[in-house]
Amino acid sequence: MTNTVRASVGQTGRDRAIVMGGSIAGLTAARGLSDHFREVILVERDQFGELGEHRRGVPQGRHTHGLLPGGLRALEDFSPGLFAEARRAGGLGVDLTRDSYWCFEGGEYRRFASYLEGLLLSSRGPGRWPGQNWKGTSVP
């Protein structure tokens, strides 16, 4: 069993949180912490560049990445309009059962519209990923 404690900045009495790594996970953690700390410091080895510019420390950044509907909804809560911004940056909205080929133990599953919309990015925009400038976070 897990216990979740929600606290505001005033309740924690803490001024600063530090997040190691500027991946989408690090950016999301920094955004979540920004509701509970006055300052969130994001430590990243690589320099953030322009959208589409690849970082040396992210070798997997050049291939397709997918975001499932639950993750997409969670990120939209942090940054309303993120899905539209990602689409403008080249992301592809996909129905996960209609637009994908599903195969299991040699058999192909039938395609149908599920209305579970996810997102495919041909590159995860290794510097300026859509939504990177969330409230409470900034990147120099």
Which helix (H) or strand (E) segment holds residue 84: the answer is: helix 82-88
Domain ranges, ordered by start, for the chain:
1-56+125-140, 64-122
What pTM was computed for the model?
0.64
In the chain (140 residues long), the average pLDDT of successive 10-residue segments reads 47 81 85 88 79 67 81 87 84 87 86 88 51 45
Written as six digits, the tokens of 51 are 């959208």
**Burial 108-140, CB ≥16 within 10 A → b, else e:** eeeeeeeeebbbbbebbbbbbbbbbebebbeee
Nearest to 77, CA basis, from 10, 28, 5: 28
